[in-house]
Copies of this chain bind each other. A is one copy, B any other.
Amino acid sequence: MYGAGDVRVEEVPDPILREPTDALVRVLAAGICEGDLPPYRCMPAAGQGIRAGHEFLGVVMDIGTDVSGLRVGDLVVAPYAWTDHTCEICRDGLPMSCGQWGLWGQGGVDGGQGEAVRVPYAQGTLARLPVAADSALLPSLLTLSDVLSTAHHCAVKAQVGPHTSVAVIGDDAIGLMAVLTAKRRGAEQILVIGRNPERAGLARHFGATEVVIEPGVFDEPAGPADGGQGVERVRAATGGHGPHAVLETFGSIGTLETALAVVRDGGVISRTSSRYAEVPISRPLLLRNITLTGGAAPARAYADQLLPDILDGTIEPGRVFDRTIGLADVPDGYRAMASGEALKVLIRP
């Protein structure tokens, strides 16, 4: 990526093992994530491009001498950040709170949207997948990298469980994954506030009990949002009180204010992202006993927890991919996702 709207497919040198803790992975599938779109929209033009992509799975081609638990030929998925994953902090589920982590495409590490990746701390970073390279489950397994694990974490932090009523704000891939994880955790009601009528069917397939289309909520920059009829409908569907938990997957001031408008007093707003530097509300949180939570997901640990449900078909998160392309079409894949034409793009290098 050389700037806003400027994605190029280029030949680069093959990665090699640099550290004894590295592994090399040949990429079988990679995703374009909503998280890739902010630089695609805003990055200043640069002479030097950045390598993109933080969702990938593939086959181990080579391993360093200090890597155990992995063998050449293993199928593996990588979380959205590499981590040592040996310390107490990582084991506590806080991969980005230990010093040993980094993002793909930064600091001499490859991006995931390519043919091969050098993986730092491969033993802690990579999760083995007990399927064949031609498995039909690869799209679902790829969601373990980020969207599924991030949505799962959002629901975990919100303490979604049986008897919980949930509102999901956003119908991008992360919002649809939030619906799926809320359903998986037994939520009683799952109400989606979205902006794309054509995604309502998939939202319902994943478990939404009601979908409210309110595109204005997602306008940016947002004025004070009252959420319009969407707020009324969500509150009406929850006995007038609002849902116990709001999974706020969009990250704008407008969607945060919508979350505040719909959530039940005493409830939880769980966020996956924040495009704003300050939370523009404080005392109403206290008066209404609302908890604000969410955060960076321990995707590596969740991969092991969520894997069985993918393997046995309990969940099919891979249905979130509605377009599959080769490497040559990655620039068009970005365009399609940024325009909303594609929900989520799968790259098969």
Contact = CB atoms under 8 A, between A and B. Distances in A.
Given A92-B266, A266-B92, A97 B288 contact: yes
Interface string A87-107: 001001110110000000000
Interface string A161-200: 0000000000000000000000000000000000000000
B241 A89 contact: yes
Interface in A39-95: 89, 92-94
Interface string A253-296: 00000000000011000011110111111110111111111111
Contacts of A291: 157, 291-293
A295 B92 CA distance: 27
Nearest to A97: B265
A20 to B, nearest CB: 28
B282 A278 contact: yes
Contacts of A96: 287-288
A281 B279 contact: yes
Nearest to A273: B286
A132 to B, nearest CB: 35
Contacts of A271: 286
Given A89-B241, A94-B266, A277-B282, A296 B287 contact: yes
A328 B295 CA distance: 54
A292 B295 contact: no
A178 B102 CA distance: 38
A168 to B, nearest CB: 17
Nearest to A265: B97
A67 to B, nearest CB: 27
A283 B292 CA distance: 12
Contacts of A290: 295
Given A89-B241, A89-B265, A241-B89, A94 B289 contact: yes
A283 B287 contact: no
A8 B289 CA distance: 35
Contacts of A281: 278-279
Contact of A294 (B157, B277, B280, B286): B286
A277 to B, nearest CB: 6
A292 B293 contact: yes
Most B C-beta atoms less than 10 A away, residue of A89, A93, A280, A293:
A293
A209 B134 CA distance: 59
22 contacts: A89-B241, A92-B266, A94-B265, A94-B266, A94-B289, A96-B287, A96-B288, A266-B295, A276-B282, A277-B283, A278-B280, A279-B279, A279-B285, A285-B294, A285-B295, A289-B296, A290-B295, A291-B291, A291-B292, A291-B293, A292-B292, A293-B293
